[in-house]
Amino acid sequence: TAQWACVEKPYCHLIHYLRLSHHLIVLNYLICTFDKLKSVSSEDIKITDAVFDGVEVRVFEPPAKGDESLKRSVVYIHGGGWALASARTSLYNNLCRIMAESLNAVVVSVEYRLVPKVWFPEQYHDALRATRHFLQPDVLAEYSVDPSRIAISGDSAGGNLAAAVCQQVTSLSDLPVRPKLQALIYPVLQAFDFNTPSYQQNMNMPVLPRYVMINYWIDYINGNYDLAHELLINNHTALNVGRALSFRARLNWTSLLPPSFKKNYKPVVQSTGTEAIVERLPALLDVRAMPLLADDATLARQPPTYMLICENDVLRDDGAMYAARLERAGVPVTLDHFHDCFHGCMIFTVWPTDFSAGVQTRNSYIKWLDENL
């Protein structure tokens, strides 16, 4: 069993219990055994499970209306730190059903494989394969989807995968259909700097403290927990780490964030660090894992973007920096900043976790899709 490297004190014993690999397996087993919903359709929405190029998906289809021939569509990728949750759990089943009803859209929810069964880049490959399959003209025709009205979306780790998939599909010359929009919900977009203002401000915030996010990253890229402290203090991207130098300007928060975010926080940049970390774990600088590291040419190809961020979230600045870089690359961006909300809130809209923050963020997200898709 891997040993826990506790880098910050609050909640340490709880996270120690949850983050060890065998407990993570048990936790996800409980979630996916007792909370998975079968594909039960209703009069309003047809729900079916399918396989797209070897990847399981759940498809939500509203009933056909007599005066329409094609529907718009959303490819949705769920969150959970690349390790937890499922397209079939009640929280995501409920979200996608409401999206399909509210938007009169076909929603494809991707059931990618999780840590510890697989690690990066397999989650990315699953999401990409399912999306590419769906974007084929014959598949879109099967589901009566308008090929000019498709969005790619996801929350948290799913937002990471959605951004990475969108970067890839917009660069493929052999793909005749491109997404019209992308909608990212408090996405995790980089592991280069764990000392952005939002990481410092919210380091002990419940739901997603900083050390939990670091350990999700370690799990995702199949690293060791003994690296947690070095990542925490940015030793992996120190000035003497040659591989990291070319990326530094792409997420320089001192130039990308507004003063209201920067406040009085100071950058944490080590002059001398540990280059062996990125040699052992090259995924730390892999754009497929870290969409915020993409070059400007890649960003310029991205579709109009909705970015939802929460003030009480270590990942606030990941989303804000990506939004700023997309805007500088000429991409229309809607940055939706919720001052009183927290990471993960959008899926908490069902009793007993029916929070006003969840309803508020979900409604804003669906409203933007309705007006733009």
Residue of 73, 109, 153, 156 marked active site: 156
87 neighbors 96 (Cβ within 8 angstroms):
yes
Expressed in angstroms, the distance from the first to the final Cα of the chain is: 47
337 is catalytic: no
The residue from 109, 155, 236, 343 that is catalytic is 343
Q: What is the 3-state secondary structure (H, E, C) of 67-118?
A: CCCCEEEEEEECCCCCCCCCCCEHHHHHHHHHHHHHHCEEEEEEECCCCCCC
Tokens of 328: 């500088």
Bridge-based pairing of strands 55-61 and 46-52 is: antiparallel
Active-site annotation holder among 193, 219, 313, 336: 313
Omega into 121 within 30° of 0, i.e. cis? Answer: yes
The single residue listed with the structure tokens 């963020």 is 361
23 noted as active-site residue: no
Whether 156 sits among the annotated catalytic residues: the reply is: yes
* Alpha-carbon dihedral angle through residues 28, 92, 221, 160, given to the nearest 10 degrees: -170
C-alpha separations of 179 from 251, 304, 352 in Å: 25, 9, 35
Dist. CA 13–CA 58, nearest whole Å: 36
Q: Determine phi and psi for 334, rounding to 5 degrees.
A: -110, 115
Distances (CA, A) of 87 to 31, 58, 122, 252, 256: 11, 7, 17, 34, 34
Q: Which residues are catalytic?
A: 156, 313, 343
